[in-house]
Structure 1
Amino acid sequence: MAQKKSWSDLTPTQRKLVAAAGIVEVALTAWCARDLKRRPSDQVRGPKLLWVPALSVQPVGPIAYLVLGRKG
């Protein structure tokens, strides 16, 4: 089994990639949460209250909301 790398074991390029991915993930989740809050219920597939916890499942939740959760 491969041993986990610590932050200090990563190269500077790998650190930048991890940081960039984290920023994209947070931004995407925030954008989806804002969209969900502003979008009328009749334009969301399923109950809006069920999409809120789904957005916390990274990175699947926000992508699922964009692909499956929004109508129109």
Structure 2
Amino acid sequence: MLPKGYVCEAKPKVESVVINFFSYSDESVKNKYGVQVYKSGEALLEFTGDTKQPHTVWRSLYSGEVNGSDANCFVLA
């Protein structure tokens, strides 16, 4: 079985952009194991800072052990 993609919405705020989960690519809110990990509309992560130095704030998205913490995980290429 191929992994499911995410259908998300980017919501701009004054000094950040929040990425909210809506469903997987097959329109289900359950993963390939039949488990609902995220609620529709739930914030997965947030980008803060400016375009030269973005900063990631992990919300609900599971990223190993960094769930709920801040990190510099993305670099402008």
* Same-fold status (TM-score > 0.5): no
Richer in strand (by share): 2
Structure scoring higher RCO (CA < 8 A, sep ≥ 6) equals 1
